[in-house]
Structure 1
Amino acid sequence: MRKKGGQVQGAVKAQYERFPYPPPVESLSDDFLSGRVGTDGCPSRDFHMYWPNQTMRGDLDILVAGCGSRQAVETACNLPAARITAIDLSQSSIDHSRKLAARHGIENIHFQQMSLLDVAELGRDFDLIICSGVLHHLPVPEAGLAALRGVLRRDGSMALMLYGRYGRDSVYLFQDIFRRMGFSPDTVTDDDLAGMVDLVRNAPAGHPHRLRQGLFSNFRPEEVVDLYLHPQDRPYTVPDILDLLDSTGMRLQRWVRQSAYWPRCSGLAERALSERISRLDERQQWAIAELYAADINRHFFLACRDDRLEDTYRMDFSGGDFISYVPELRWCLSQDARMDGQPGREIGVDFAHVKASRLALDVTQAAVVSLVDGRRSVGDIIAALAPAGEEALALSYLREFFHELWLFDFVLFQTPMRSSA
């Protein structure tokens, strides 16, 4: 295997050999096995987020690049018909993953110790590449993403996670402190780790950590080392991510939890400047939403090759095809009585890593949502609800309403089938 990445790659590998990440588990949790929780990047329940123009299927070729101690096993558990290749720098992490797979009788994973920079040596390509929390640990993230692009099929998707700059401000303050004290993953002792935790727990009242302590409250040794002692850690803003994609022949498909990136879905919608913000292009709106919230510590997003046809993944709520879109409710959507006691319903989604989105629906909106079953098209819903002669008015109404539901992460759509091939 060719060696790339030099001293940094060696230091990262050494860290994960000593402190496998995420912290290994003996078995998958009951919540995971029952389907109550999922794993980041897996399309088992949100297939049409990745491929809205395709019929749902499970026989995917998947690469988990930087599989850690369990991500590939979780993915295989969710997609037993998939063919999964899992790579990682750390042999220790791979050994833990193999043990976990054997514990659950999972056999559809091929494990290989290697750098993602060498991924072309696999000699194959993939429908889906999952790379969560890896690129920001490379000396040159562009080289890593370019290598992954080289094995992604034209109609394929990447599920990526990169650290967020503003939500991790306290992390970098403590990293600087511990670096000045001479701590490193290869020499840190149990007493050192205990002292580090004591320092973090007792940060002054005005320290940024006090705003983020709910995000960074796991003090297991593997977590502390990965958070505060990692030898290579580069955070990203929205513009940084877009520049990274542009420089490597990639495009943003969408943010996974996109309501956090649209000003109209946040507190900005009620502000005096909201109309002016809404006139900006989407890139500027995403950047403003991130700056205003100032709390995104991890960016989860989907990306694809820049030669994939846009209408295989982009939603067009104003086009002629919209009437044939088939809406489906997100798996984590809840429906309750309105808290204000008014007629209608209140819907919400509660993802890990982000605050829940909630929306109060009036009676008409609730009736529309009640017909969303993953089989009826927009045209079918119009036929079921609209009086004769008012179909055009109903279509106009549903264009706006479904766009809103989509922005708030309440629905996905299956769209007419197309291919980039």
Structure 2
Amino acid sequence: MSDIQAAVAKLYNTYPFPPDPLSDAPPPGYNWRWTWVAAHSFCTGRSPAREDIQILDAGCGTGNGTDYLVHLNPQAQVTAIDLSAGALAVARERCRRSGADRVTFRQMPLEEAALKLPGEFDLINCVGVLHHLPDPIAGIQSIAQKLAPGGLMHIFVYAALGRWEIQLMQEAIALLQGNKRGDYTDGVAVGRDIFATLPEQNPLVQREKERWSGENRRDECFADMYVHPQEVDYTIQSLFELIDASGLEFVGFSNPQFWQLERLLGPSSDLMARGQALVERDRYRLIELLDPKSVTHYEFFLARPPFTPTDWADDAELLAAVPRLHPCLHGWPSLSLFNDDYELIQLSDAEFAALEACDGEQSVGQLVASLPLDLATVRQLWRQRLLVLG
């Protein structure tokens, strides 16, 4: 184990993260990014051919995501790995108490997954991990080797522009700790004392209050944010260097609305034309330059070919598809419900009737023949991620 890996393990043994409470029930709600059917439909446009899949939670921490992955994918087998013995102990207990019994835990560095883990995985979840490795490229290459053909990888890493104040506070705490750096309880105490002492109008204090203070009430979160021994923050350029090194195909960001140029430059037809002429990566860079404080992280999907997205533009193909309800809906059945991003959706009577008829057996063609339903409505329900098509 390298010095950096040992320091990271020590942090999470001291402050197991995330500190979500344990429960004797399944975790509440859903995260569609951790739901195989939802993630597959988002990335490819289609329902997956099978749901009895293998999932890897690469860097599981205390198992919050692992718990969701097991409960949201009832036919899947889950493997969860992490560097920290302390975090893994919490993860095991979390899943034991919630009844998440289709999971195997292994203690190992992410970089050793390619050598030590048997088999391949259809879905790999790697949230909040790569940016803490001594060599993130080695880490992503290791887990990329475990992704099955046609498989998906979900990744979350930090962004530099929206975390400027965190970088400054990390350095300030380290300077004041001096030779006590690496004593994480001391680092938390120093950091909290700084925030309590600085003038209220100080920009670091203001940013902490408006953006981070809610989650930083817990020392585990404060330590993860401000006294972490290893952190790599990305920009679009360095992010795509990481992605290119993986050898996988970039599918897209999981918050695509944010990455639409129209959101920022829509009122100017000239600027929009100039922006649309840029290659995709330069358009993403332009967006983060124009809205830097909002980019605190990047969350995205990669895929291993064969990867063939479907847009359902062909009427014959759509008529033959079998629709079913999206697995991440809250409030159904109702004319008012929440979609997979917990956004409130108001359905028309016709849309409600269409969703109610989606039994996973009838084709779109059969539904169109029996309901006051047209293909435009089906496509709209699919784009709103209220149904999936297969």
TM-score category (smaller protein): 0.7 to 0.9
Aligned-pair identity in percent equals 24
TM-score normalised by length of structure 2: 0.80
Is 2:389 aligned against 1:414?
yes
Map of 2:76 onto structure 1: 82
Q: Deviations over 1:84-124 (max 9, x none)?
A: 11111000111111112222233211111101111121222
> SS at the partner of 1:139?
coil
Map of 1:25 onto structure 2: 21
Aligned counterpart for 1:115 among listed residues 109, 121, 124: 109
Q: Is the 8 A contact 2:32 2:39 kept in 1?
A: no
The one-letter code of the counterpart of 2:111 is L
Change (3 A) 1:324 1:204: farther
The one-letter code of the counterpart of 1:351 is D
When you count helix as a share of all residues, which structure comes out higher? 2
> Structure 2: how far apart are the matches of 1:411 and 1:93?
36
Map of 2:175 onto structure 1: 180
TM-score normalised by length of structure 1: 0.75
> SS at the partner of 1:69?
coil
Q: Deviations over 1:191-244 (max 9, x none)?
A: 4353144258x5535459538723453221111111011111112233332221
> SS at the partner of 1:309?
coil
Change (3 A) 1:263 1:360: farther
The one-letter code of the counterpart of 1:59 is D
Q: Is the 8 A contact 1:131 1:159 kept in 2?
A: yes
Q: Which runs of 5+ in 1 are unaligned?
A: 336-344, 387-393, 416-421
Q: Is the 8 A contact 1:170 1:208 kept in 2?
A: no
The one-letter code of the counterpart of 2:301 is L
> SS at the partner of 2:139?
helix
> Structure 2: how far apart are the matches of 1:18 and 1:350?
35
> SS at the partner of 1:261?
coil
Map of 1:218 onto structure 2: 215
> SS at the partner of 1:236?
coil
Q: Judge which range, 241-250 or 187-196, deviates more.
A: 187-196
The one-letter code of the counterpart of 1:192 is V
Is 2:82 aligned against 1:60?
no
> Structure 2: how far apart are the matches of 1:325 and 1:278?
33
> Structure 1: how far apart are the matches of 2:87 and 2:197?
29
What are the residue-to-residue correspondences of 1:21-420 with 2, within 5 Å? Answer: 21-23=17-19, 25-27=21-23, 33=27, 35-38=28-31, 41-43=34-36, 45-50=38-43, 52-55=45-48, 57-70=50-63, 71-119=65-113, 120-182=115-177, 184-189=181-186, 191-198=189-196, 204=201, 206-207=203-204, 209-210=206-207, 213-219=210-216, 220-264=218-262, 266-272=263-269, 273-294=271-292, 295-305=294-304, 308-311=305-308, 314-316=309-311, 318=313, 321=317, 324=320, 331-332=328-329, 351=341, 371=354, 402=380, 406=383, 410=385, 413-415=388-390
Q: Deviations over 1:287-337 (max 9, x none)?
A: 3333333202122211112xx1231xx2436557466566665735789xx
> Structure 2: how far apart are the matches of 1:61 and 1:350?
23
Q: Is the 8 A contact 1:84 1:109 kept in 2?
A: yes
> Structure 1: how far apart are the matches of 2:221 and 2:34?
21
> Structure 2: how far apart are the matches of 1:215 and 1:412?
35
Q: Is the 8 A contact 1:329 1:372 kept in 2?
A: no
Q: Is the 8 A contact 1:132 1:160 kept in 2?
A: yes
Q: Which runs of 5+ in 2 are unaligned?
A: none
The one-letter code of the counterpart of 1:162 is V
Q: Is the 8 A contact 1:21 1:93 kept in 2?
A: yes
Aligned residues: 375
> Structure 2: how far apart are the matches of 1:211 and 1:258?
26
The one-letter code of the counterpart of 2:58 is A
